[in-house]
């Protein structure tokens, strides 16, 4: 029997299961990939917002990663919520040791409720310590603005920001997600690589249940890269996956509910590509 493809997520928790490592593991499973997880922060949150954040000691993250890499190497690594510069440096050391493993960054800065998940110092540290090692970075428009310092209110600005990620920050691929551009009838994402620019469009659905979309989208990219897919193939799959997940939300919670992590598997199938 062949070993499964393995994806590792390094992120915070969500006890209601809509975001963080919980959403990542569900997404890995839905893509047919075995999921591993190292926790950075314990977050008390639900569909109504974030109530408390308890960041773990950096040493505890180091111990978790040592346990994983001493036993079995993942085929792709994803990071989400990272609490401190020390944690980022621990992750950087792993990336330097295993440069052949694709690395995906979901630059988690704000929860869907608007609650901040990263302070200003951590935002600057993310750009300097981790972004240059990224195979793919997946910011939404507000996150792309935070990282680049640009005002991104039109397509020309999106292109300028994408090129900045590639040419100045050093990321290999960048997906700027256009879901916050509410004036469009479609949700349009832009993938920038060193040589090409691609766009992906899916219908925009009128729902407040979008909790965990960023985590899920980047987790699917991670899973697909773990399976040996190209960046283009991985992003194409992730775009369709998140669209179907939003279309068939489970309507859970009193606020911004989670997406349906298993809708793609049930409605489209694992082998559509």
On whether residue 267 sits in a domain, the answer given is: no
On whether residue 29 sits in a domain, the answer given is: yes
- Catalytic site residues? 177, 210, 212-215
Q: Which H or E run contains 72?
A: none
pLDDT band at residue 267 under the 50/70/90 scheme:
confident
CATH number of the domain residue 251 falls in: 3.40.1190.20
pLDDT at 179: 61
**Structural domain for 127, as ranges:** 6-262
User: How many distinct structural domains can be found in the chain?
Assistant: 1
pLDDT at 123: 75
Distance, CA of 187 to CA of 260 (rounded, Å): 18
pLDDT at 269: 65
On whether residue 1 sits in a domain, the answer given is: no
Q: Does the structure show a pLDDT above 60 at 270?
A: no
Q: How far is CA 259 from CA 36, 137, 175, 198, 254, in A?
A: 21, 21, 20, 25, 14
Q: What is the DSSP letter of 264?
A: H
Each residue's pLDDT tens digit, 141-190: 988 998 899 999 899 999 999 999 999 999 999 999 986 555 567 889 99
Each residue's pLDDT tens digit, 204-221: 898 999 999 999 999 999
On whether residue 178 sits in a domain, the answer given is: yes
Judged by average pLDDT, the poorest of 105-114, 162-171, 230-239, 241-250 is 105-114
- Residue of 196, 15, 32, 7 lying closest to 106 (CA atoms): 7
Grouping H, G, I as helix, E, B as strand and the rest as coil, residue 42 is strand
On whether residue 214 sits in a domain, the answer given is: yes
Each residue's pLDDT tens digit, 83-97: 899 999 999 999 999
Whether the CB-CB separation of 214 and 106 falls below 8 Å is answered with yes
Question: What radius of gyration do the chain's Cα atoms show?
Answer: 17
Quick count: other Cβ atoms within 10 Å of Cβ 57?
A: 12
pLDDT at 268: 76
Each residue's pLDDT tens digit, 34-70: 999 999 999 999 999 999 999 999 999 999 999 999 9
Each residue's pLDDT tens digit, 124-147: 898 899 999 999 999 999 889 988
On whether residue 246 sits in a domain, the answer given is: yes
């Amino acid at each position: 029997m062949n070993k499964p493809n393995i994806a590792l997520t390094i992120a915070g928790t969500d006890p209601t299961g809509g975001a963080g490592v919980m959403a990542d593991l569900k997404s890995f499973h839905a893509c047919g990939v075995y999921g591993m997880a190292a926790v950075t922060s314990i977050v008390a949150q639900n569909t109504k917002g974030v109530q408390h954040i308890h960041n773990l000691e950096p040493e505890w993250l180091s111990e978790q990663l040592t346990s994983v890499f001493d036993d079995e190497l993942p085929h792709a690594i994803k990071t989400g919520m990272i609490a401190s510069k020390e944690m980022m440096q621990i992750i950087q050391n792993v990336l330097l040791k295993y440069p052949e493993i694709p690395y995906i960054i979901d630059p988690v800065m704000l929860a869907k409720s608007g609650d901040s998940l990263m302070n200003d110092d951590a935002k600057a540290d993310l750009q300097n310590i981790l972004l240059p090692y990224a195979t793919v970075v997946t910011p939404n428009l507000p996150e792309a603005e935070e990282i680049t310092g640009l005002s991104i209110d039109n397509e020309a600005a999106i292109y300028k920001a994408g090129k900045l990620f590639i040419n100045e920050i050093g990321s290999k691929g960048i997906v700027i997600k256009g879901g916050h551009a509410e004036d469009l009838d479609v949700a349009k994402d832009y993938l920038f690589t060193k040589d090409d620019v691609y766009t992906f469009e899916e219908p925009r659905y009128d729902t407040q249940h979008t909790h965990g979309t960023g985590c899920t989208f980047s987790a699917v990219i991670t899973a697909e890269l773990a399976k040996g897919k190209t960046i283009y193939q991985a992003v194409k799959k992730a775009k369709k996956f998140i669209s179907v997940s939003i279309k068939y939300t489970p309507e859970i919670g009193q606020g911004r509910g989670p997406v349906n992590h298993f809708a793609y598997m049930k409605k489209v199938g694992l082998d559509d590509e």
